[in-house]
Chain A
Amino acid sequence: MEFDSKELMMMFGDDQEIYFEIFGDFEQSLDEMLGEIDNAIESKNAEALQISAHTFKGVLSTFCAVESKNLAFELEKMGRDGQFDGAREIFNNLKTSSLSLISALKGFQFSSAA
């Protein structure tokens, strides 16, 4: 499951217009946010990895995307510990799950979740 629909309903049930607005922002900025994590791994910049993964984790958390959020958190911890072994693989999983998330969120309807 890409996201927790009940949780999302609770977060945005009264603010659906805000949800649609920030979902548009998320969709638009996804490549940029993933790019920052990608670059941090590529350049083995631990601090940049920690910050970029943390920021992305925050966004994923806003959309109640538990699995993707956990992957981002793994990367954040790796950045904090200066540990890059396996980071690329986790990043690839994060990228795949984020793209699935976007598709799933596009199809989300508040009326069916209620």
Chain B
Amino acid sequence: MKILVVDDDRINNKMISKKLEKRGFEVVEAFNGKQCLDIVDQQQVDLVLLDIMMPDLFGSEVLVRLRKRFTAFELPIIMVTGKSETEDIVECLKAGANDYIVKPINIEVALARISTQLSLKQMHQENLSNAELETAQAMIVTYNHEINNPLTIALGLLGRVKTEENTATVEKINDALFRVVDIVKKIQQISNDTKIKHTEYTSEDKMIKLK
């Protein structure tokens, strides 16, 4: 997991970065708001620890800019603040900060809050992924159903139009239609084998109603 530590105070920045690295996190450091925004543009970051008071761009302004692009689940942001900055904390929480920690940073408290936010982010991503799988599966079931119906009709009618003159042609059409039947079965099999089918949606398949 990659954490971006943003603080103009290089000593605090180094302290928290080193402590996090020691505990297994990958850490990127930024020393002002602009650097923070640049890094988020260029790299995949899992969470931001953002100091509120910085000279070029206040942490609260950086927060607002980041929240225009990322939800609280996509990019958790934990504000870092002095004990006396209660008003700033409230403003930041209203503006979309996930949480805050107070300086001097107690690493155990910081780790607990970081872990909570990363877990929530992971759960959100899994939910999104499950929803996508569920949609894909419902589409497969729907398409199979919609294809099977006309296919059955076509195969049934094919026998009726068969004459001595068109036997070869009708058999070719028949073979082609059975190849479609085979493909539909294989797609259905893939749908049955999806993880989501076996873990969470074991009851009935869902379908999307086609207009």
Contact B53 A62 (CB under 8 A): no
A62 to B107, CA, bound (A): 12
* Cross-interface CB contact of A15 among B54, B55, B107, cutoff 8 Å: B107
A35 adjacent to chain B (CB < 8 Å): no
Q: Are B53 and A22 in contact (CB under 8 A)?
A: no
The 11 sampled A-B contact pairs (Cβ below 8 Å) are: A10-B106, A11-B107, A15-B107, A18-B15, A21-B18, A51-B53, A54-B53, A61-B104, A62-B15, A62-B104, A73-B84
Q: Shortest beta-carbon distance, B21 to chain A, in Å?
A: 9
Asked whether any CB of chain A lies closer than 8 Å to the CB of B179, the reply is no
Closest chain A CB from B69 CB (angstroms): 27
Question: Quick one: which of A36-92 are within 8 Å of B by CB?
Answer: 51, 54-55, 57-59, 61-62, 64, 73
Contact B9 A18 (CB under 8 A): no
Band of interface residues on A: 10 to 19
Q: Is the CB of B55 within 8 A of A64?
A: no
Other than the given A11-B104, A22-B14, 8 more pairs (CB < 8 A) read: A10-B106, A15-B18, A15-B107, A26-B11, A58-B7, A58-B9, A59-B11, A61-B104
CA distance A29 to B31 in the complex (A): 15
What A residues does B18 contact at CB under 8 A? 15, 18, 21-22
Contacts of B106 in A (CB 8 A): 10-11
Binding site for B on A (CB under 8 A): 10-11, 15, 18, 21-22, 25-26, 29, 51, 54-55, 57-59, 61-62, 64, 73
We find that the number of chain B residues with CB closer than 8 angstroms to chain A is 20
B11 and A18 form a contact (CB under 8 A)? no
CB-CB nearest 6 A-B residue pairs: A61-B104, A18-B18, A58-B9, A55-B9, A51-B55, A59-B11
Distance (whole angstroms) from the CB of A20 to the closest CB of chain B: 11
Q: Which residues of chain B from 81 to 122 have a CB within 8 Å of any chain A CB?
A: 82, 84, 103-104, 106-107
Pick the contact of B11: A10, A11, A22, A51 (CB < 8 A).
A22
Q: In the complex, what residues of A have CB within 8 A of residue B14's CB?
A: 21-22, 25
Chain A residues closer than 8 Å to B107, beta-carbon distance: 11, 15
Question: Distance (Å) between the CB of A79 and the closest chain B CB?
Answer: 11
Chain A residue nearest to B85 (CB atoms) is A54
A62–B80 CA distance with the chains assembled, in angstroms: 13
Would B8 and A55 count as touching, CB distance under 8 A?
A: yes
Report whether A29 and B10 are in contact in the complex, using a CB–CB cutoff of 8 Å.
yes
Contact A59 B84, CB 8 Å, known A15-B107, A21-B18: no
